[in-house]
Every structure is written in structure tokens, then in C-alpha cells.
Amino acid sequence: MFLVGLSGGIASGKSSVVNVLRELGCAVIDADVIARQVVQPNTSAHRQIVQLFGHEVLLESGEINREKLGSIIFSSPEKRQQLNTITHPEIHKIMLKQILKYFFQGYRFAILDIPLLFETNKLTRFMKHTILVYCDPQSQLARLMKRNNLSHPDAEARIFSQLPLDEKRRLADHVIDNSGDRERTRQQVLELHARLDSSMDYIPIRMVAIATLTGISGLAYLLLRHFIF
């Protein structure tokens, strides 16, 4: 099994692309969903976040107020890095477990939906392919303002906290342009899926795993060593 990193920019339409991939039966590992799981109350990450940012980032239920926390970290690179230091190791552990699950289920490849794939740049070396969901900057700004009910300055601040889409475009192996209508985007996804599905890239990895690893523990150790550290 080989890994495919999928990323985009905020409000670029990555979720729509992921939905199509799921419809096609792809194994998708969603880093954002995992990020919500690891900060649930009574987790280590939750306690560290409250200690660092204070109780004002909590909802009445005790869960993290993502909007409140987002407004803090999007305006402070230092705070954003501190949050990443807390959450990323926990996220990577769960991603690893899901990778192992899909590997032993016989999937040829797994899609890792990682919003900050190119910003952190720690996982790109493990991806056989990287995909960027792109849209033009004007559309991105307009979509974000409408979706999150943000002012122009607030929307720009969130966009500027990430690498520009044009820069990510140069780093990606494949680009899905989501600037147009849904059908045009869908056709691009279908074409790329066909290329991935027909790829033989999974064969060498599976042969090496079968030949050199004696059990689940050996594979887990190998992936843990390279994927997390």
C-alpha cells in the first residue's frame, strides 16, 4: 500500500473532493477529524491546551471552542506552533493505526487528508503522491467570508496563516482545480482516481513487507519509527 497526501487551502473545496473519493471506495484518513478526537475532554491534549490557553477557550460542555481557539492561533504564529506541538504527536499516532488497518485490509493506497501537509512538511516524504485542491485566491476569500461569516480582514488573516495556494501548487504532484463548477471538479477527481487505482506502486511495498516482516509488531515498529519520528 502506498500513501497519497491530500491538501488544500482553507475554503478551497477540499471536502468536496474527499466526498467524491469516499464515494469511489477510497480509504480516507481525515487528519481534521482525528484532531477533534485527540482534544476531547479528559485527554492529555485537552489538559495541555487549557493549561496553555486558559479556560476561555472552552465551551460550557468542556469541549474546546474551536472558533475561539482558532481566532487566537491564526493571529499568532507562536501560539499556533505551541498548539501543533501538543496535538500533532497524538494525531500521528491515530493516523498510524488507521494506516495499519487499511494495509492489512488489502487496500492498494490510502488517502491522507492533511490540511497543513505542505506547511508542516514533516509527512510529505512518506507520500508516494501529493494532491492539492486549488482555487483562485479571489474565490477562496469570497468562499471563506461567506462560509464562516467573517469580515474581509479576518478572512485574510486565516488565509495568510497558511502557505499561498500558488506556492502549494508548485509543491504538489497533482492539482485539482476547484475554481469552476462541481462537475468539472468531479471529472478531475475521477481521472486522478483512475490513475492511482491502476498504479502498481503498491506491489514493491507489499512484497518487501511480506518478505522482511514476520508479523504485525514488526510492521508497526517500522511505520512508527518513520511516520511519527
What is d(CA 129, CA 3) in angstroms, rounded to the nearest whole number?
7
Exposed / middle / buried, residue 107 (Cβ in 10 Å: 0-12, 13-18, 19+): middle
How confident is the prediction along the chain (229 residues), in pLDDT tens digits per residue? 899 999 999 999 999 999 999 999 999 999 999 999 999 999 999 999 999 999 999 999 999 999 899 888 887 889 989 999 999 999 999 999 999 999 989 899 999 999 989 988 889 999 999 999 999 999 999 999 999 999 999 899 889 888 999 999 999 999 999 998 999 999 999 999 999 999 887 766 666 665 555 555 555 555 555 554 4
| CATH classification number, 2-46+92-228, choose in 3.40.720.10, 3.40.50.300, 1.10.3720.10, 2.40.30.10 | 3.40.50.300
Which alpha helices (H) appear in 41-160, and where do they start and end?
A: 44-53, 66-73, 77-104, 117-120, 137-148, 152-160
For position 87, what pLDDT does the model report?
95
Q: What pLDDT is attached to residue 54? A: 94
Q: What is the pLDDT of residue 182?
A: 92
Which residue is it, cell 492529555? 44
Grid look-up 500521528 returns 92
| Cα–Cα distance measured from residue 149 to residue 172, given in angstroms and rounded to the nearest whole number | 30
So where are the chain's domains? 2-46+92-228
- At 211 the pLDDT is 58
pLDDT of residue 157: 86
Sequence letter at residue 107: Y
Say what the pLDDT of residue 228 is.
47
Q: What angle do CA 38, 48, 65 make, to 5 degrees?
A: 65
- pLDDT value at residue 17: 96
The predicted pLDDT at position 71 comes to: 85
